Chain A
Amino acid sequence: QSALTQPPSVSGSPGQSVTISCSGTSSDVGSYNRVSWYQQPPGTAPKIMIYEVSYRPSGVPDRFSGSKSGNTASLTISGLQAEDEADYYCSSYTSSSTFVFGTGTKVTVL
């Protein structure tokens, strides 16, 4: 299973919005609403931010939102804050009951 494709980096000023894309195929991202997103600040473990395309776990700020169109999922951070600076990974749950992750995107707050 090949890794999902994400842009290496995105950046924005505080208060702006940034969107991270996650491109897959009709066999993974496009087939089911089983896309999740994870935030990983430097030197820490990943943390779930979005599950099943657009649902936020308890405690995740509502400035994080997810969507999907065809074989591409997206994570949008609205009202960017300094604490949002981290690596972000998308993931798709496969028909083999495994996970395939994206290549990762570094979010920089200018």
Chain B
Amino acid sequence: EVQLVESGGGLVQPGGSLRLSCAVSGFTFSGYWMHWVRQAPGKGLVWVSRIDSDVSNTNYADSVKGRFTISRDNARNTLFLQMNSLRAEDTAIYYCARQNNYAIDYWGQGTLVTVSS
């Protein structure tokens, strides 16, 4: 069974940092591109970042470029999102997601990040 389990969310002050993790199981992690997608409270889905299977390429939404870093450890079957210089508008549920061809076929349950003083 494919599983994606996020962790690391919580309450952080503006300007602070947080590192999200996504532990995966049930599939060959190293064979898939992975994404982070976020959803602010009561709002829609917004794509955040992508990393390819061998870590050679990454992409970021303009809103997080220069502040967030996506990475992965294929040996530990884990995806990461390092978030620095956090702002109130980064408050959201962050989902880890697996890409399959041109769609996201599996999503984690999400982890809530709240940026507030």
A contact residues vs B (CB 8 Å cutoff): 3, 32, 34, 36, 38, 40, 44-48, 51-52, 57, 89, 91, 93, 96-104
Contacts and interface: CB of A to CB of B under 8 A. Distances in A.
A72 B46 CA distance: 20
Pick the most buried of B35, B103, B110: most chain A CB atoms within 10 A of its CB.
Answer: B103
B27 interface: no
B47 A46 contact: no
B88 interface: no
Contacts, number: 66
B107 A46 contact: yes
Interface residues of B, number: 24
The residue among A44, A46, A100, A103 with the most chain B CB atoms within 10 A of its own CB is A46
Given A38-B45, A45-B95, A46-B45, A97 B59 contact: yes
Given A34-B102, A52-B101, A101 B47 contact: yes
Contacts of A97: 33, 50, 52, 57, 59
30 contacts: A3-B46, A32-B102, A36-B103, A40-B45, A46-B45, A46-B95, A46-B104, A46-B107, A48-B104, A48-B105, A51-B100, A51-B101, A51-B105, A52-B101, A52-B102, A89-B45, A91-B45, A97-B33, A97-B52, A98-B47, A98-B50, A98-B59, A98-B61, A99-B35, A99-B104, A100-B47, A101-B45, A101-B47, A102-B44, A104-B44
